[in-house]
Amino acid sequence: MISYAVEQVSTYAKDIDFLILLICGLVGFWFFVAEGVLFFLIFKYRAKEGGKAAYMDGTDPKHTRFISWPHRFILICDVVIVVFAVKVWMGVKQTMPAPDQTVRVVAQQWSWSFQHPGPDNKLDTADDIKTLDELHVVVGQTVQFELVSPDVIHSFSVPVFRLKQDVIPGRAIKGWFKTTQTGSYDIQCAEICGIGHGAMVARIVIEQPERYAEWVAANVATATVPPAPAAPAPAPAAPAPK
Amino acid sequence: MTTTTASHHADAHAAGHAHDDHEQSFFVKYLWSTDHKVIGFQYMITGLLMAMIGGYMAYGFRMQLAWPGEWIPGVGFLSSQQYNAYVTTHGTVMIFWFAMPVLIAAFGNWLIPLMIGCDDMAFPRINRLSYQVFLISAVVLIGSFFVDGGAFGGAWTAYPPLSAKATMNLSPLGSTMWVLAVALEFVAFLLGGINFITTAMNARAPGMKMMDIPIVVWMIVVASILFMVSVGPLVAGAAMLVLDQQLGTAFYDPSGGGDPILWQHLFWFFGHPEVYVVLLPAMGVCAEIITCNARKKFFGYKTLLYTVFATGIISFFVWAHHQFVAGIDPRMANVFTITTLIISIPIAEMIFLYIATLAGGQIRLNVPMLWALSFVAEFLLGGVTGIFLGASGSDIYFHDTYFVIAHFHYTFVPIAVIACFAGFTHWIPKMTGKMMNETLGKLHFWTTIVGFNLVFLPLFITGMWGDHRRIYNYDHFPDLSTQALQDLRIASTVGLLIMIAAQGFFVWNLIWTWKKGPAAGNNPWQGTTLEWSTTSPPGHGNFHPMPTVYRGPYEYSVPGAEADFLPQSQPPA
């Protein structure tokens, strides 16, 4: 339904899509039953010449059972939905798998900047790579992100991951994703953040480890200009043959 | 006891007025009136005019979305700042200046005194003050478009720090005027709410017990209570927001030790019950129309009331489902998912009772009935799609997408537009003494319904495919600038144009009714409730003599009775 237009690129995308499909089935059933009964009754009980309506006040169990029984089934459907929704939610938002890589995402009016850990795979060290509007990650790795904002509320939304998390100034909110395929996709700001909100977009570039290493090597040299002597070191790591 | 004394008093009052039916100037009669019927008209007309402003905003931004960057007839080019202001004002106007004045204030004023059989509101001057404050609030809101920096553009939810800092929202005066306008509107509705509750509880006709009160009166009373209980935190929040904006305090500013999430809690603690504040009167209006036109007692009057009370109470425990991904403790989402899905139980019960009322009826498909039935049919879709958003797991994806927009418009359009027209066409014969045109009414109904569905069905799909809200031009987003999505956006805009054009039939019908509407008589729909026992339009003091109530509100098709309806005020044989 969603994956027809928006690919599933994170490990939990299919869980969320399944949950949506499940809810769709359950509420869709009740929706069509209710609409069906509504239109059937309108059609069946149109006013007829000389006809007289039934007199009932809705307390006779013979009548109320038509309401109370569906009600019990709806309650069961609610329980099923709650169980699955909470399960999905806990997997996405309440667990934090050990990360292979940690990135910092800075959402500001009106752009995204990303702080990659660099060759040492640690944040807040000298070799961090900072980029604007482009986030690079390795396919298949668990990435932990930390969301910060210096100004107003933004929202880190990556539709292909089915992921969304507001960015609150004054807080560092952590989350995770694990990608399943390579490609380049939208990162959108999903919370109105002022006049440039309609253009606040970045791209996430999901790459094979080799390509990522190449990118790191190419960027760490330019990114860390002051400690220039250290720059040539990572060069051999890059696999030359494509 | 109270009811009897109050009504005796009312009787004496009405008799006193019968003598001094002196000529009044236009100003005193229509603009400075304390008559609940006139104030109802004032609210209704102001609400419909504000709906035109809200509709104009919708026209502006939907045209921009369908043909981004093009010149829009009647609007011009829309900048991104203006786009945000239009979106914000559309939301604010439609909820606070259209849904609330029409459903609570207009119908409350028209119907409560007439349906419970008294001569006017308990506090007529407070009632007049309520409308005057409301009018000022509307002027302040519209005025914000003409000040330096323009109208506020931080969405109707006004999340700080964006709404709190002029350096970020670029509308230093507009944002404060927005808060001020909303606060004034709350004052107006607190004044109105006091009146509705007091009148319905104390001024009922002799013989009208609590369980003889028509459903719509109950609904407006419960809605007023919900509003009064929920609005306090938001008013406090609004005061803090104004201080942040104008005096540089830091209630919501983390750099000064504040917390932006605080506002979200205060706002949604009000914001969710607010949905039921407008939903309940809308459902009440439809209950009256459906029982009358199905010629049947309401199926489970008491059950309905209990579900309404339950909904009202539970509605205070669901607010954080608007904030699942807002940075609250993720464990809270589990609690609020459960409470949110629990509220589906009483709401489903209500809808079932409406549907069950039709079974065994003699359904007349006149214009008010078409509107009322379409309310049930359309609201169902709005209701079930809410489950996707109330379930925390799927809300991660759907939050702030067009799916949300489609969902709440499938609740709010039935509430504000459909129930408004249902009530309007049902009671305007009573309020003016003239019947509306049936053919024009049906044309208006069908074109509006077709337009409405064409606007919002495509938005479910664009939302599912990733469109998120409040974006003025999707060309900036590589994944969202596909032709398939753009076609859906254009379809939605075409739907809006149909829906706006459809209102031409309504205006035409109003003029037709004004010029040559046939006389309605006292009881054109053969209704049972008290308002149909007096003249159309009811004179000053409403009833001469004051009515006495002998039975429940929906005695239709009683076995053995001569007519298929037994008015509440008709003495037993």
Q: How confident is the model at residue B169 (pLDDT cuts 50, 70, 90)?
A: confident
Which of A56, A186, A195 minimises the CB distance to B477? Answer: A186
Closest approach of chain B CAs to the CA of A233, in angstroms?
A: 36
Q: How confident is the model at residue A223 (pLDDT cuts 50, 70, 90)?
A: low
Test A170 with B348 for CB contact under 8 angstroms: no
Of B298, B278, B449, nearest to B371 (Cα)? B449
Question: pLDDT by residue (tens digit) across A156-201?
Answer: 999 999 999 999 999 999 999 999 999 999 999 999 999 999 999 9
Question: pLDDT by residue (tens digit) across A43-90?
Answer: 999 999 888 899 988 888 999 999 999 999 999 999 999 999 999 999
Question: pLDDT by residue (tens digit) across B378-431?
Answer: 999 999 999 999 999 999 999 999 999 999 999 999 999 999 999 999 999 999
Please report which residue ranges of B325-401 form alpha helices under DSSP H: 330-358, 367-390, 392-398
How confident is the model at residue B4, as a pLDDT? 42
Which of A5, A47, A75 minimises the CB distance to B345? Answer: A75
How far the first Cα of chain B sits from its last, in Å, is 26
How confident is the model at residue B380, as a pLDDT? 96
Of B102, B116, B38, B200, nearest to B423 (Cα)? B102
Q: Which CATH class is domain B2-7+34-533?
A: mainly alpha
**B372 burial level (CB within 10 Å; 0-12, 13-18, 19+):** buried
Residue with tokens 């667990």, as numbered in its chain: A95
DSSP B212: G
Test B341 with A51 for CB contact under 8 angstroms: no
Closest approach of chain B CAs to the CA of A232, in angstroms?
A: 35
Interaxial angle between packed helices B367-390 and B260-294, expressed in degrees from 0 to 180 and rounded to the nearest 10: 150
Q: How confident is the model at residue A228 (pLDDT cuts 50, 70, 90)?
A: very low
Q: How confident is the model at residue B13 (pLDDT cuts 50, 70, 90)?
A: very low
How confident is the model at residue B239, as a pLDDT? 94
Q: Which residue of chain B has the CA closest to A61?
A: B300
* Mean pLDDT of the region B356-360: 94
Test A168 with B260 for CB contact under 8 angstroms: yes
How confident is the model at residue B22, as a pLDDT? 61
Average pLDDT value over all residues in chain B: 92
How confident is the model at residue B32, as a pLDDT? 86
Per-residue tokens: A151: 């100004």
**B20 burial level (CB within 10 Å; 0-12, 13-18, 19+):** exposed
Q: Which of A32, A42, A66, A158 to mutate to test the interface with B (most CBs of B within 10 A)?
A: A42
DSSP B572: P
In this structure, the dihedral spanned by the alpha carbons of residues B130, B131, B137 and B142, taken in order and rounded to 10 degrees, is 170
* pLDDT at B256 > cutoff 60: yes
* Mean pLDDT of the region B239-267: 93
Question: pLDDT by residue (tens digit) across B193-234?
Answer: 999 999 999 999 999 999 999 999 999 999 999 999 999 999
How confident is the model at residue B166, as a pLDDT? 86
Q: How many helices (H) and strands (E) does chain B have?
A: 19, 0
Q: Which residue of chain B has the CA closest to A49?
A: B362
User: Count of A–B CB contacts within 8 Å?
Assistant: 290
How confident is the model at residue B21, as a pLDDT? 54
* pLDDT at B139 > cutoff 50: yes
Q: How confident is the model at residue A222 (pLDDT cuts 50, 70, 90)?
A: low
* ipTM of the prediction: 0.91
Residues of A in contact with B465 (CB under 8 A): 2, 5-6
Q: How confident is the model at residue B8 (pLDDT cuts 50, 70, 90)?
A: very low
**Domains of chain A, with CATH numbers?**
13-93 (no CATH), 101-231 (2.60.40.420)
The domain spans of chain B are 2-7+34-533
Question: pLDDT by residue (tens digit) across B510-522?
Answer: 999 999 999 999 9
